[in-house]
């Protein structure tokens, strides 16, 4: 590999910091978290969010407790502009939530950005950015250091002219690719902006220092942040923010070390979505604090619901090994790990009983589990039973190799309960055919208690569906809804309401061909359950799964 083509960061950025204090610091409180999923993360999606998904994501972040949210790039996207106007014209955002809007340093774009926030009652931050690193100046912008500084100050002047009189509006500046910019230059530019905007403790300016492309070990970024922290003018009128990316896979470490070095605010995405390898993962950062006894100030107590919403809005599944949230992170496949965890859980219960302290308040010290899964709304016991069955009968493996059926991990957990009960009752090991028969009985067979599909038609404009329920036919005709959503609507009109949480497609390979198999996770009343549908077409398999979910229990 031609490694000689690349220059180490120390040859490109000469950092004048010889003594550092960040290695002696400790993280004792959460920073201000600023999720940028609706702007930066949204730009990184193959299919950017439509208004409904964007609103659902925003409502999730508010429910989790975020107090500052970057909601979009209104000058670059009509969808983003309309979403900002929705916030302005409704009570979607609670009064204590700060709304951040993003713009490039160009007057016409700044004008449209300011227009988008008119009428918003919430605190507002107008976030202006320009790339400042030498390669960007020379290759992308074609400007000298002086020319670029003039451009940045002109944009700052435009912001001040257009929005400086608004009492609830504050300003943010990002020197994009800060970590590759000469320290003296970026310090001068930032000081010029805080002077122009008259940064003060009463109306602080946010200086956001991005590691837009990770190019060094995390200690280098920490040094860069500490240099700015110690040398910025008007430091008491500055909120020092960081925005690490993850090109080297060390975005988390960069953010944590930056906080030790004086940063007060972190921009990132909830599960690390973003361009290339992504933005820093706020969930991991926050739960790392939780695991050290520091309140992260964000609620992750129902992490599966958070994951489902983020997956739906992004159209990207969270990796099963993703820290804290992945489906496998509380699963031990090793027998020695399982034994240690079981013993640790038993000892935890015994200590609680002996001391009279509630298990949820007792110090956590269970081997291999850095946090109690119950803190995140999960149960370790449910996961380990699946693993035990997999060790004996290979539930998921046998279904996949015998029938081509790939079950989502959460459905494996659900099905394992049925397998466990059946195996305990029968006292025998189950073959692949036994497992498939039990799967069909558990998720496919609905008997005569499910609604029947009488008729459906789908064209570009409308969907029409008729179902028979308790001998009565119900018809629903809708525009703008997909077939599955239309079926759910006609069932709701007939008095049977279900909420589909996730939908997965696989197939059943048997004989000379294969059938489509749709697997749905749904909520009906207070219960979250699974159902399946099998047919020659994907659409009819999806209908069958929904109808099975709507059966009478």
The reply to whether 254 and 345 lie within a common domain is: no
Q: Which residue has the tokens 């119900």?
A: 474
Q: What's the per-residue H, E or C state across 169-229?
A: EEEEEEEECHHHCCHHHHHHHHHHHHHHCCCCCCCCEEEEEEECCCCCCHHHHHHHHHHHH
What is the rounded distance in angstroms from the CA atom of residue 509 to the CA atom of residue 515?
A: 7
What is the rounded distance in angstroms from the CA atom of residue 329 to the CA atom of residue 320?
A: 7
pLDDT in tens, 334-372: 657 767 887 888 899 999 999 999 999 999 999 999 999
CA trace torsion 79, 489, 90, 94 (10° rounding): -100
The reply to whether 120 and 255 lie within a common domain is: yes
The pLDDT assigned to 392 comes to 36
Crossing angle between the packed helical segments 145-163 and 107-117, to the nearest 10 degrees: 30
The answer to whether residue 76 sits within a structural domain is yes
The answer to whether residue 431 sits within a structural domain is no
Pick from 204, 199, 179: which is nearest to 264 by CA? Answer: 204
The pLDDT assigned to 469 comes to 84
Tokens of 174: 């990002």
The reply to whether 123 and 34 lie within a common domain is: yes
Helix (H) or strand (E) holding 9: helix 9-12
Which residues span the domain enclosing 339? 329-378
pLDDT in tens, 151-180: 999 999 999 999 999 989 999 999 999 999
Task: List own/partner pairs for 253-256 with CB under 8 A and 24 or more apart.
Answer: 253/218, 254/211, 254/214, 254/218, 254/221, 254/222, 254/280, 255/280, 255/285, 256/27, 256/218, 256/285, 256/288
Q: Which residue has the tokens 């049925």?
A: 418
The answer to whether residue 349 sits within a structural domain is yes
The answer to whether residue 315 sits within a structural domain is no
Pick from 129, 147, 113, 120: which is nearest to 40 by CA? Answer: 129
The answer to whether residue 291 sits within a structural domain is yes
The reply to whether 107 and 238 lie within a common domain is: yes
CA dihedral sign, ordered 453, 455, 458, 464: negative
Check which CATH number belongs to the domain holding 480 and give it: 3.30.160.270
The reply to whether 287 and 347 lie within a common domain is: no
The reply to whether 273 and 343 lie within a common domain is: no
Pairing of strands 499-510, 472-479: unpaired
The answer to whether residue 391 sits within a structural domain is no
Low-confidence stretches of the chain (pLDDT beneath 70): 333-335, 338, 380-394, 397, 427-429, 510-512, 552-553
The reply to whether 143 and 259 lie within a common domain is: yes
Domain count, the chain: 3
Task: List own/partner pairs for 282-288 with CB under 8 A and 24 or more apart.
Answer: 282/33, 282/35, 283/323, 283/324, 283/325, 284/252, 284/323, 284/324, 285/33, 285/252, 285/255, 285/256, 286/30, 286/33, 287/323, 287/324, 287/371, 287/376, 288/252, 288/256
Check which CATH number belongs to the domain holding 270 and give it: 3.20.20.70
What is the rounded distance in angstroms from the CA atom of residue 8 to the CA atom of residue 444?
A: 59
The answer to whether residue 11 sits within a structural domain is no
The reply to whether 280 and 165 lie within a common domain is: yes
Pairing of strands 124-131, 452-458: unpaired
The reply to whether 333 and 294 lie within a common domain is: no
The reply to whether 366 and 475 lie within a common domain is: no
Pick from 55, 56, 67: which is nearest to 95 by CA? Answer: 67
The DSSP 8-state label assigned to residue 261 in this structure reads T
What is the rounded distance in angstroms from the CA atom of residue 113 to the CA atom of residue 124?
A: 11
- Cα–Cα distances (Å) from 31 to 172, 226, 262, 265, in that order, read 17, 16, 10, 5
Please say which residue of 338, 359, 378 terminates a domain. 378
What strand order describes the sheet that includes 238-244? 32-35, 265-268, 238-244, 205-211, 169-176, 124-131, 98-104, 68-72
What is the rounded distance in angstroms from the CA atom of residue 88 to the CA atom of residue 168?
A: 13
The reply to whether 293 and 343 lie within a common domain is: no
The pLDDT assigned to 386 comes to 37
Pick from 174, 66, 176: which is nearest to 127 by CA? Answer: 174
Check which CATH number belongs to the domain holding 357 and give it: 1.10.287.1400
The DSSP 8-state label assigned to residue 523 in this structure reads E
Tokens of 210: 């991005």
The DSSP 8-state label assigned to residue 64 in this structure reads H
The DSSP 8-state label assigned to residue 240 in this structure reads E
Length of the chain: 553
The reply to whether 366 and 271 lie within a common domain is: no
Cβ-based neighbour number of residue 66 at 10 Å: 21
- Cα–Cα distances (Å) from 155 to 75, 103, 159, 241, 310, in that order, read 14, 10, 6, 20, 34
What is the rounded distance in angstroms from the CA atom of residue 67 to the CA atom of residue 99?
A: 9
Crossing angle between the packed helical segments 78-89 and 107-117, to the nearest 10 degrees: 30
Cβ-based neighbour number of residue 105 at 10 Å: 22
Under 8 Å between Cβ of 64 and 286? no
The answer to whether residue 494 sits within a structural domain is yes
């Amino acid at each position: 590999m031609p490694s000689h083509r690349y220059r180490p960061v120390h040859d490109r950025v000469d950092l004048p910091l010889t003594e550092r204090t960040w290695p002696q610091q400790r993280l004792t409180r959460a920073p201000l978290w600023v999720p940028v999923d609706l702007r930066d993360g949204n730009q990184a999606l193959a299919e950017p969010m439509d208004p409904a998904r964007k609103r659902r994501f925003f409502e999730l972040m508010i429910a989790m407790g975020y107090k500052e949210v970057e909601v979009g790039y209104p000058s670059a996207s009509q969808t983003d502009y309309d979403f900002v106007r929705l916030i302005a014209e409704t009570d979607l955002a609670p009064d204590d939530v700060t709304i951040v809007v993003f713009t490039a340093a160009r007057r016409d774009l700044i004008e449209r950005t300011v227009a988008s926030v008119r009428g918003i009652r919430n605190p507002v931050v107008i976030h202006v950015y320009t790339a400042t690193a030498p390669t960007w100046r020379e290759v992308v912008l074609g400007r000298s250091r002086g020319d670029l500084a003039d451009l940045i100050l002109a944009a700052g002047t435009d912001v001040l002219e257009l929005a400086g009189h608004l009492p609830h509006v504050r300003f943010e500046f990002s020197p994009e690719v800060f970590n590759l910019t000469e320290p003296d230059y970026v310090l001068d530019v930032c000081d010029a902006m805080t002077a122009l905007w008259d940064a003060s403790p009463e109306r602080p300016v946010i200086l956001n220092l991005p590691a837009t492309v990770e190019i060094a070990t995390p200690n280098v970024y920490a040094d860069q942040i500490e240099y700015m922290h110690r040398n910025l003018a008007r430091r008491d009128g500055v909120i020092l923010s960081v925005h690490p990316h993850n090109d080297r896979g060390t975005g988390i470490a960069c953010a944590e070390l930056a906080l030790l070095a004086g940063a007060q605010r972190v921009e990132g995405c909830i599960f690390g979505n973003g361009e290339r390898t992504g933005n820093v993962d706020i969930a991991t950062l926050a739960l790392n604090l939780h695991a050290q006894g520091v309140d992260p100030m964000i609620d992750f107590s129902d992490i599966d619901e958070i994951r489902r919403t983020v997956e739906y809005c992004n159209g990207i599944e969270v990796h099963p090994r993703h820290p804290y949230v992945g489906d496998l992170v509380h699963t031990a496949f090793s027998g020695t790990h399982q034994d240690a965890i079981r013993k640790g859980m038993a000892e935890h219960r015994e200590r609680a009983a002996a001391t009279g302290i509630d298990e949820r308040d007792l110090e956590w010290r269970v081997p291999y589990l850095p946090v109690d899964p119950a803190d995140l709304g999960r149960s370790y016991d449910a996961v380990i039973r699946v693993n035990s069955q997999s060790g004996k009968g290979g539930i998921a493996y046998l279904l996949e190799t015998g029938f081509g059926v790939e079950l989502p991990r959460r459905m494996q957990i659900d099905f394992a309960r049925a397998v466990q009960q059946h195996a305990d009752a029968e006292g025998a090991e189950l073959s692949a055919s036994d497992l498939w028969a039990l799967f069909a009985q558990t998720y496919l067979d609905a008997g005569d208690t499910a609604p029947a599909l009488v008729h459906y038609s789908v064209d570009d404009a409308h969907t029409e569906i008729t179902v028979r329920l308790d001998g009565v036919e119900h018809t629903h005709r809708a525009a703008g809804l997909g077939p599955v959503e239309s079926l759910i609507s006609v069932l709701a009109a007939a008095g049977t309401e279900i909420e589909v949480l996730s939908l997965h497609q696989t197939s059943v390979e048997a004989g000379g061909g294969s059938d489509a198999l749709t697997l749905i996770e749904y909520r009906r009343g207070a219960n979250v359950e699974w159902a399946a549908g099998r047919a020659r077409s994907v659409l009819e398999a999806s209908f069958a799964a929904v109808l099975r979910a709507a059966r009478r229990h």
